A and B are shown apart, each in its own frame.
Chain A
Amino acid sequence: MADARYRPGDRVRVRKAAPLGHVRTPFYIRGYTGVVERVCGAFPNPEELAQQRDGLPAQPLYRVRFRQKDVWPGYRGNPADVLELEVFQHWLESS
């Protein structure tokens, strides 16, 4: 299992990349910065599992919280509104 590099409260940025294959990091969140809400654990990499490989070593998976107004131009809602999703460690950088 790869070591967990981030902890709850850390500011992290989702890498902006557009690879091919099966990816579980949604396009809409790439390039944005949020805060780690929790470490979910480590799981085999779905990008590799989709290609009939074992996806090991398991990769740390984080729930990351983003402010809606940071993600969507012209977001019209409560400035406190958030969007929370899971991002694998290899898609994250420190911010």
Chain B
Amino acid sequence: MKDLGAYRPLDYFQLMEVSLRELLVEKGVVTEDAIAAAMATMRARGPERGAAMAARAWLDPAYKARMLANGSQAAEELGFEVPGLRLIVVENTPQAHNVIVCTLCSCYPRMLLGLPPEWYKSRPYRSRVVREPRKVLAEFGTRIPAKMQIRVHDSNADMRYMVLPMRPAGTSGWSAERLAALVTRDCLIGVAVPKIPKTPKTRKS
């Protein structure tokens, strides 16, 4: 372990953040208000926006077609501002399951879905899902049958990706809100599929 004197590595990075921020504010490059506003904007983004898009696609075939043709425009259609996002939505079918990764860093449709999960940015996920997707998905409790095709998408350049999961059976007549609640962040990345929550067993009379 290096002798860093009064510093411990964890504190050095927080020290750096304060120092960088103060220098940039002093020089008029950023303001504290702008930082706070950017933080608030990021907090307002989350997977529920992608879930809303999925539910709408399940209910409205014309919207689904538009979403598969241009994901960013489909997001904007629902009122989600996604500056600079070039979104491709890939559709799960009975024949094919999609899963998303960024092997080189952590590219993720942040402007729509917010911050990615820690595991998405980790070495094990980034290294292994391109090469052994079924095994990695099994670690998430998701089993893709051997006869289905798996499509792995490495978002290594300017496009960003979201999975449109398959609508589960037994959901006919459900509202958009109820359907959207089935679509988790992990479903939109492709490491999970929507599941209807188990209802409690009724008491025997």
Contact = CB atoms under 8 A, between A and B. Distances in A.
Contact of B147 (A75, A76, A78): A78
B176 to A, nearest CB: 30
Contact of B157 (A24, A28, A80): A24
Nearest to B153: A84
Interface in B52-91: 86, 88
Contact of B158 (A68, A76, A82, A86): A86
Interface string A38-64: 001101001000000000000001010
A52 B87 CA distance: 26
Given A77-B133, A78-B147, A85 B156 contact: yes
Interface in A5-31: 24-26, 28
B115 interface: no
A47 to B, nearest CB: 11
B154 interface: yes
Contacts of B103: 26, 28
Contact of B156 (A26, A41, A43): A26
A25 B156 contact: yes
B151 to A, nearest CB: 5
A28 B130 contact: yes
A28 B128 CA distance: 12
B166 interface: no
Interface majority SS (helix, strand, loop, mixed), chain B? loop
Interface residues of B, number: 23
A24 B103 CA distance: 10
Nearest to B103: A26
Interface string B120-133: 00000000001111
A25 B104 CA distance: 9
A86 to B, nearest CB: 4
Contacts of B18: none
A81 B64 CA distance: 24
Given A26-B104, A28-B130, A72-B131, A84 B146 contact: no
Nearest to A81: B150
16 contacts: A26-B103, A26-B154, A28-B103, A28-B130, A28-B131, A40-B158, A40-B159, A46-B157, A61-B158, A63-B159, A68-B152, A72-B131, A77-B150, A81-B133, A81-B151, A86-B158
